[in-house]
Amino acid sequence: MKSKKSTIYRILCSIGKYRFMVVLSLVLAGLTVALTLYVPILIGQAIDLILEEGKVDFHGIGIIIQKMIILILVTSLAQWVMNHINNHITYQVVKDIRIRAFRHLEELPLKYVDAHPGGDIISRVIGDVDQFSEGLLMGFTQLFTGCMTILGTLCFMFSVHVGISFVVVMVTPLSLLVASFIAKKTYTMFQLQSKTRGELTSHIDEMLGNQKVVQAFHYEREAVEKFEEMNQRLKTCSLKAIFFSSITNPATRFVNGLVYASVGIVGAYSVVKGLLSVGELSCFLTYANQYTKPFNEISGVVTELQNALACAARVFELIDEEPQIPDKAEAVELKEANGEVALKDVSFSYKKEIPLIEHLNLHVNPGQRIAIVGPTGCGKSTLINLLMRFYDVDSGQILVNDYDIGNITRKSLRQNYGMVLQETWLRTGTIGENIAYGKPDATKEEIIQAAKEAHAHPFIQKMPKGYDTIISEEGGSLSQGQKQLLCIARVMLSLPPMLILDEATSSIDTMTEIRIQKAFAKMMVGRTSFIVAHRLSTIQEADVILVMEKGRIMEQGTHHELLKKKGFYYKLYNSQFAV
């Protein structure tokens, strides 16, 4: 409950900037409702002036019509302005919150990004924000005008005639009852429908998603049979769900009809008794038609509001997520690192219960090559995470140039590293922009030079628009190897003193693979390099080999030292390379 309250409070805060507009919108909504309700009364008055042949007060009607014209114009103007304001508030709030969430996203520790599925975060930043503001603001205005309409109608009705108003008030709950009864009944049917539909969809997903395998085992007939069985079940429960839900409209229409008829009967009765004029009756009939509508809307709005609240809570949850520890105030800028790196008694784990790296010591002299070796998923990336300070160590120190990296600004630390990962990531944009990603002010010549050094120039030239070809996240028509060459070119452009490289394991054609190797070799000259290594030559040439398994460093030393040791590396070497 408390959290709900605080969510509402925070929502109010985020709208606070627009509080003047919100108030204005509410005032206009009130005005619109009042005027809309007043018009039927005027019409009723006019009707009362039209009695019968020869008995029509044209002068009176003329005055009423003048009033009506003014009212109508004011109402529509108020409505128009209100719509505008609401639009404005809604979309501005969406923008504000979205930008806030996104800013925060850039500050969140990678721990959060790694641990949460991308789809979930995206749906918070995009879908939930939309739902939140649209559901909340639109829902709120609807709720407000709805309640106002009901209240206003009641006031007007009671002021004109108490008896008939009672009739209306007594009958309308029926409509609500019917609607909620049907909603409850259909809920279970809809649940069954969506469950069956889910089953069917997952079958479709599986069979069509892997259609090639299905065909290879000529399993089509079975797939269709199974599909048909689910399809028939879906048919039965869909029919029920759709039919029962479609009862709501006719049923509420029927109840409205009842209200209308009762107003008609009681009203006519009162007119005969002289308690009401015909014009007032007509006004009541209009009200009877209008009055029930907001009730049906409000029940819908309430669920929408609840949904919006839940969405808001999800968005705030993201915004509340603790950002990474900011750089210390006394943090220094690391200028040009000489390449000396030391790990002193470093321990780290993703989860406290599962120790990972414990008391790791490593000293790297400027220009040394460190090969990190081990089976996939052994935690090689953990080490990279710590070196780049994507994650902070639990205890111990990592030193660069004898500075604890905790005391260096993140920016300057990372500027000293060049990183080429196996999962290539490219920004939507032109090839040129991608190469210049780390150095936006690079000249065209510099970009081409970097591409040439990365052996990427030839294939870029073959692209339809050369360096101006637009590529997207998925890389479009680029092969995996070509993407990696682009990533290398990106680093080449401003070659930092330390490197983190990830060798490709597979799915790169031989020629590209050779090019990548050459590019790597060129980069590494004179630079401290950490290489996630898969190739024997890289490993053999390394100054230090770190052998990792299950996140731990099992052994470290040179190739020969480790072979002599006949430990884990020896076994690994024999199973992987000595066929």
Partner 1 sequence: MKRGGKDGIIRQIFILFLKGWKKKPMGKLLRYLQGYKRESILGPLFKLLEAGFELFVPLVMANIIDIGIQNKDLPYIWKMGGILIALGGIGLICSLTAQYFAAKAAVGFGTELRKDLFSHIMKLSYTEIDMIGSSTFITRMTSDINQVQSGVNLVLRLFLRSPFIVFGAMVMAFTIDIKSALVFVVAIPLLSIVVFGILFISMPLYKKVQKHLDLVLQTTRENLTGARVIRAFHKEKDEIERFEKDSELLSKLQIFVGKISALLNPITYVIIQGAVIALVWIGGKQVYDGAITQGEVVALINYMSQILVELVKLANLMITISKSLACGNRISSVLEMTSSITEREEELLENQKEYKVELKEVDFYYKGGKAPALEGISLKVKRGETIGIIGGTGAGKSSLANLIPRFYDTSKGSVFVDGKNVRGYSLEKLREKIGIVPQKAVLFQGTVRENIQWGKKDAKDEEIWKALEIAQAKTVIEEKGQGLDFMILQGGKNLSGGQRQRLTIARALVKKPEILILDDSASALDYATDAKLRKAIRENGEKMTIFLVSQRVSTIKSADRILVLDDGKIAGIGSHEKLLESCEVYREICLSQEICLSQISTK
Binding residues among 79-98 for partner 1 as defined by CB under 8 A: 79-80, 83-84, 87-88, 90-92, 94-95, 98
Q: Which is nearer to partner 1, 461 or 505 (CB)?
A: 505
Establish if 113 lies at the interface with partner 1 (CB under 8 A).
yes
SS3 403: strand
Largest CA distance in the chain: 122
Distance CA 397, CA 342 (A): 8
**Interface residues for partner 1 in 299-318 (CB under 8 A)?**
none
Establish if 102 lies at the interface with partner 1 (CB under 8 A).
yes
- Per the listing, tokens 């018009």 go with 39
- Min dist CB 65 to partner 1, Å, is 5
Burial of 498 (0-12, 13-18, 19+ CB in 10 A): buried
**Interface residues for partner 1 in 532-551 (CB under 8 A)?**
535-537
Establish if 28 lies at the interface with partner 1 (CB under 8 A).
no
Establish if 410 lies at the interface with partner 1 (CB under 8 A).
yes
Q: Which stretch binds partner 1 (CB under 8 A): 71-79, 333-341, 354-362, 454-462?
A: 71-79
- Among 194, 202, 443, 477, contact with partner 1 (rule: CB under 8 A): 202
Establish if 335 lies at the interface with partner 1 (CB under 8 A).
no
Establish if 138 lies at the interface with partner 1 (CB under 8 A).
no
Q: How far is CA 349 from CA 47, 327, 355, 391, 463, in A?
A: 83, 22, 5, 10, 45
| Cβ proximity of 279 and 46 under 8 Å | yes
- Min dist CB 329 to partner 1, Å, is 19
Q: Which stretch binds partner 1 (CB under 8 A): 49-57, 167-175, 294-302, 545-553?
A: 49-57
Establish if 441 lies at the interface with partner 1 (CB under 8 A).
no
- Min dist CB 52 to partner 1, Å, is 7
- Min dist CB 95 to partner 1, Å, is 4
Distance CA 430, CA 38 (A): 61
- Min dist CB 46 to partner 1, Å, is 5
Q: What is the dihedral of CA 387, 546, 114, 524, to 10 degrees?
A: 60
**Interface residues for partner 1 in 458-497 (CB under 8 A)?**
472-473, 479-481
Q: Which is nearer to partner 1, 203 or 344 (CB)?
A: 203
The full 3-state SS of 134-164, as one line of letters, equals HHHHHHHHHHHHHHHHHHHHHHHHHHHCHHH
* # of chain residues touching partner 1 (CB under 8 A): 140
Q: Which is nearer to partner 1, 155 or 511 (CB)?
A: 511
- Min dist CB 490 to partner 1, Å, is 8
Distance CA 92, CA 349 (A): 42
Establish if 151 lies at the interface with partner 1 (CB under 8 A).
no
CA-CA-CA-CA torsion sign (105, 109, 110, 116)? negative
Establish if 155 lies at the interface with partner 1 (CB under 8 A).
no
Distance CA 370, CA 359 (A): 18
Establish if 450 lies at the interface with partner 1 (CB under 8 A).
no
Establish if 176 lies at the interface with partner 1 (CB under 8 A).
no
- Min dist CB 359 to partner 1, Å, is 26
- Among 247, 310, 342, 563, contact with partner 1 (rule: CB under 8 A): 247
Q: Which is nearer to partner 1, 8 or 223 (CB)?
A: 223
Q: Which stretch binds partner 1 (CB under 8 A): 76-84, 140-148, 163-171, 459-467?
A: 76-84
- Among 37, 148, 157, 281, contact with partner 1 (rule: CB under 8 A): 281
- Min dist CB 473 to partner 1, Å, is 5
- Min dist CB 1 to partner 1, Å, is 32
Q: Which is nearer to partner 1, 255 or 346 (CB)?
A: 255
Contact partners, residue 133, CB within 8 Å, separation at least 6: 90, 91, 93, 94, 97, 308
**Interface residues for partner 1 in 370-399 (CB under 8 A)?**
375, 388, 390
Beta strands in 310-444 (DSSP E): 341-348, 357-364, 369-373, 395-400, 403-404, 417-420, 429-430
Q: Which is nearer to partner 1, 122 or 155 (CB)?
A: 122
> Within 13 A of 299's CA, how many CA atoms are on the CB side?
16
Establish if 275 lies at the interface with partner 1 (CB under 8 A).
no
| Cβ proximity of 360 and 382 under 8 Å | no
Q: What are phi and psi of 116, to 5 degrees?
A: -110, 130
Q: How many residues does the chain have?
A: 579
Establish if 452 lies at the interface with partner 1 (CB under 8 A).
no
Establish if 207 lies at the interface with partner 1 (CB under 8 A).
yes
| Cβ proximity of 370 and 339 under 8 Å | no
The full 3-state SS of 461-524, as one line of letters, equals HHCCCHHHCEECCCCCCCCHHHHHHHHHHHHHCCCCCEEEEECCCCCCCHHHHHHHHHHHHHHH
Q: Which stretch binds partner 1 (CB under 8 A): 50-58, 156-164, 339-347, 449-457?
A: 50-58
